[in-house]
Chains A and B, each alone.
Chain A
Amino acid sequence: MKGLLKGLGVTLKSMTSKKVTTSYPDEPFVMPDRFRGIQHFEPDKCIVCNQCARVCPTECITLTGKPNPDPEKKGKVIDTYDINFEICILCDLCTEVCPTEAIVMTNNFELSSYSRDELFKDMEWLSTNNKLVRKDNNNIGAPTKGGGK
Chain B
Amino acid sequence: MGDLLLEQLTWGNALIFFLSAVVLLMIVLGFVTYAIYFERKVIGWMQLRIGPNRVGPFGLLQTVADILKLLLKEDTIPRKADRALFILAPVLAYVPAFAVLAVIPYTDSLYFADLNVGLLYYVALSGITTLAIVLGGWASNNKYALLGGMRSAAQMISYEVPLVISIVGVVMLSGSLNLRTIVAEQGNWFWEWNFLPQIIGFVVFVIAAVSELNRTPFDLPEAESELVAGYHVEYSGFRFAFFMLTEYVYVYAIAALTTILFLGGWHAPAPFLDFVPGLLWFMLKFACIVFFLFWLRATFPRVRVDQLMGFGWKVLLPLAILNVFVTAAYIEFFIKR
Residues of A within 8 A of B (CB): 4, 7-8, 10-12, 14-21
Size range of the interface on B? 10 to 19
Name the contact of A19 in the complex, choosing from B42, B48, B295 (C-beta under 8 A). Answer: B48
What residues of B have a CB within 8 angstroms of the CB of A11 in the complex? 46, 295, 298-299
With A11-B295, A15-B42 as given contacts, are A4 and B47 in contact (CB-CB < 8 Å)? no
Q: Which residue of B lies closest to A8 (CB)?
A: B299
Do the beta carbons of A10 and B299 come within 8 Å of each other?
yes
Question: What's the Cα separation between A17 and B45 when bound, in Å?
Answer: 8
DSSP class of A's interface residues: helix, strand, loop or mixed? helix
B227 contacts chain A at the CB level, 8 A cutoff:
no
Which B residues lie at the A interface, using CB under 8 A? 42, 45-50, 295-296, 298-300
Asked if residues B47 and A14 are in contact (CB atoms below 8 Å), the reply is: yes
A17 → chain B closest CB, angstroms = 7
Q: Are B46 and A14 in contact (CB under 8 A)?
A: yes
A10 to B300, CA, bound (A): 11
The answer to whether B50 and A21 touch across the interface, beta carbons within 8 angstroms, is: yes
Interface majority SS (helix, strand, loop, mixed), chain B: helix
Closest to B297 in A: A11
Q: Measured between C-beta atoms, what is the minimum distance from B326 to chain A in Å?
A: 20
Min Cβ gap B292→A in Å is 9
A7 to B47, CA, bound (A): 13
Contacts of A20 in B (CB 8 A): 48-49
Residue of A nearest to B46 (CB): A11
- Minimum C-beta distance from B48 to chain A (A): 5
User: Residues of A contacting B50 with CB < 8 Å?
Assistant: 19, 21
A58 to B279, CA, bound (A): 70
B300 near A12: Cβ-Cβ < 8 Å: no
Q: How far is the CA of A16 from the CA of B50 in the complex (A)?
A: 11
Q: A16 contacts B45, CB within 8 Å?
A: yes
Beyond A4-B300, A7-B300, whether A14 also contacts B295 by CB under 8 A is: no
CB distance from B46 to the nearest CB of A (A): 4
Report the minimal beta-carbon distance from B191 to chain A, rounded to whole angstroms.
22
Would you mind naming 29 contact pairs between A and B with Cβ atoms under 8 Å apart? A7-B299, A7-B300, A8-B295, A8-B296, A8-B299, A10-B299, A11-B46, A11-B295, A11-B298, A11-B299, A12-B46, A12-B295, A14-B45, A14-B46, A14-B47, A14-B48, A15-B42, A15-B45, A15-B46, A16-B45, A18-B48, A19-B45, A19-B48, A19-B49, A19-B50, A20-B48, A20-B49, A21-B48, A21-B49
A8 to chain B: which residues have CB within 8 Å? 295-296, 299
> Which 3 A-B pairs give the minimum distances between C-beta atoms?
A11-B46, A15-B45, A11-B299
Residues of B contacting A16 in the complex (Cβ-Cβ under 8 angstroms): 45
A4 CB contacts on chain B under 8 angstroms: 300
Q: How far is the CB of A12 from chain B (nearest CB, A)?
A: 7
Query: Once the chains are docked, how many angstroms separate the CA of A8 from the CA of B292?
Result: 10
